[in-house]
Amino acid sequence: MSMHPLLLSPETISLLERVSVALLVGGLVLSYLVVYRLGDRPSPFQRLRTRFIVGIPWGTVLVVVGVYLVYHVVQGAGDPGGPNVVGFRSWSLWYPQGILFSWLSHASSAHLTGNLLATVVFGGIAEYAWSHYPTETGQQSFSSWRTNPYARVGLYVVGISAVGLAGSVFVPGAIIGFSGVVFALAGVAIVTRPLVTVGGILGLEGVDLVYSGFQNPVGFAEARPDFSVPYWADTALQGHLFGLVAGVLLGVALLRYRKRSPNIGHVWFAALVFTVSRSMWTLFWFLSDTEFVLFRGLGAASVVVLASIIAIATLPDPRPLVGERIEVPARRVGVVILVVLVVLVALAGVPYNLADVSSGDGVDGGIEIDGYTVTYAENVEDQYTSLDIPVVGDALSVDASGVIVTSDKRNVWSLETPRDELALNGFSVVVIGDSTWREVVIMNHTQWQLSGGNSTYKVYGQHWQEMDDQQLLFTAPLGEGQPTINGSRFGIVPSTEFYDIAVLGENGTRDRVQMPAHNESVDLAGVTFTRKNNRLIARHEQTELLFAEYRTERER
């Protein structure tokens, strides 16, 4: 818990948190009284009991609990270093553990929270449409396994698991997260309860706000430099599309089985609101590890067209697509297009997930642990993202710089921390392993920033358990200072021991001396260099200037 050091004491913060939570609870109670007491509306639990066992969507509850346990127990979110993310992505069909766990795993607590809250909302709507009890008139519960409420809960969970595993197998890319299943649940909800789904989309914001209010009733923030990428560049759009379309097809099948149909306008509106609010218009590609191109216009057109196709697929009758001359039913066209979308994703996904991914050039050496290699490299080709297409050639090739994790036997090639992020933070924590073991690797970045010039730096790696055993993984070229002092230009050069100060000549460095220790000085070319804590001061006669500043993770 952070605290403003000048204004608030821990006791004051604790009091504010308790008061905030109490007011939040009071606001929720007041809202319930206004809507369901003063408004003479029946309790929502009464209606839920007509569809759910004791009014609880048990299938959704079981799924939420299972996903939560995978993150905290299997991925080890509470262990040193946080959750293991690398070992739980769907890297390849040759890595079955990744395929099995990727759809249940998450990259962070925020990732987990967002998906679980969405599961509660859309999963509850989809499970309500499915129902624990028979919906047809005359059918009785427990008359057969199809009408058994407990069997129906089990089928609902099995269906969710099937969609999740299908996404891991057929969606291209190293997917991680439950969002593919969330989109499938939303797809079922959109076609079976479109207006309720729109309310759920709006309600999700409220649920998230209330949850955050209980989790962090009082928060503090301050302006500071940070490394970030566009939010749309960190989403698996292909997985979201696969899940949504699969869910819509399941929902349409349920409607056909029960001989029901929604209002096509309501379905179109719900589909459009969902796809826009969930940023499915963000069609993008990589220009580098930190640069992206967004096709906004194409994305906007695609969500409008997708909403229309989803609405057409739910038409209640076989009306023709265009007038009376074309006798092909419009709803069949809609369903076929959706099926083709799923098949196209799978046709791209299966070969991609079967491809052999090697470590590539430039990432040799590093910290090796049970088939994993953790290293640092710059301007190397991303072996997992780059595509080798004969016609296009290297146009889609992406270069990466930063902390890289590879594993040939698992088809892993992952840029875990981009170069600029590591330089800003000064360190990076990398967790590797699988469901049976884990190791933590700490990457440290040290840097001398020269006044008026560039910088030079080194990157070390070490096991978390062996903090005194650092391995030098990368040294940058020398940093050149801009000022000319006593007729000479100087720079800083990384060395095996630490860094050296060097006199720069036309063909590189001439003379060099080791960087002085704290509060000590060295002379070079008639200039005295004194290190005061993390500042390197250059002095000549009556002139003194800040030549360079040393930065590590401890000073950032």
Per-residue pLDDT tens over the stretch 167-215: 999 999 899 999 999 999 999 999 999 999 999 999 888 888 888 888 8
Q: What is the pLDDT of residues 150-161, one digit of tens each?
A: 999 999 999 999
Residue ranges making up the domain that contains 243: 42-221+230-354
pLDDT of residue 273 exceeding 80: yes
Rounded mean pLDDT, 482-496: 89
Judge whether 311 and 268 are in contact, CB under 8 Å. yes
- Give the DSSP per-residue string, 76-119: -TTSTT----GGGS---TT-HHHHHHGGG--SSHHHHHHHHHHI
Say which range, 122-126, 137-141, 367-371, 543-547, has the weakest mean pLDDT: 137-141
Q: What is the rounded distance in angstroms from the CA atom of residue 251 to the CA atom of residue 257? A: 10
Query: Which candidate, 109, 108, 89, places its Cα nearest to that of 97?
Result: 89
Residue 326: what pLDDT?
A: 62
Q: Tens of pLDDT along 239-258? A: 999 999 999 999 999 999 88
Instruction: Note whether residue 175 is domain-resident.
Output: yes
Q: What is the pLDDT of residues 33-80, one digit of tens each?
A: 887 777 767 766 777 888 889 999 999 999 999 999 999 999 999 999
What pLDDT is stored for residue 74 in this prediction? 96
Is pLDDT above 60 for 391?
Answer: no
Res 235: pLDDT: 79
- Return the percentage of the chain with pLDDT > 70, whole number: 92
Q: Which position has the higher pLDDT, 138 or 364?
A: 364
Residue 520 domain flag:
no
359 within some domain: no
> Mean pLDDT throughout 466-493?
87
In a domain, 479, yes or no: no
pLDDT at 303 over 70: yes
For the cut 80, the answer to whether the pLDDT of residue 354 exceeds it is: yes
Confidence at residue 18, expressed as pLDDT on a 0 to 100 scale? 87
The answer to whether residue 508 sits within a structural domain is no
For the record, the structure tokens of 408 come out as 């040939």
Tell me how far apart the alpha carbons of residues 327 and 531 are, in angstroms, rounded to a whole number.
Answer: 85
Q: Report the alpha-carbon distance of residue 305 to residue 299 in Å, rounded.
A: 10
Res 38: pLDDT: 76
Residue with tokens 């293991």: 84
- Domain contains 2: no
Q: Using only C-alpha atoms, what is the Rg of the chain?
A: 29
Q: Count up the domains in the chain and report the number.
A: 1
Element (H, E) at 32: helix 10-32
* Three-point CA angle 481, 487, 493, nearest 5°: 30
Q: What distance in Å separates the CA atoms of residue 161 and residue 177, rounded to the nearest whole number?
A: 13
pLDDT at position 390, please?
Answer: 43
Confidence of residue 376 (pLDDT cuts 50, 70, 90): very high
Q: Would the pLDDT of 300 be above 50? A: yes
Q: Which residues contact 219 (CB under 8 A, 6 or more apart)?
A: none
Residue-wise pLDDT for 3-23, tens only, equals: 454 467 778 888 888 888 898
Q: Does 250 map to a domain?
A: yes
Whether residue 456 lies inside any domain: the answer is no
Computed over every residue of the chain, the mean pLDDT equals: 87
Lowest mean pLDDT among 170-184, 275-289, 385-399, 465-479: 385-399
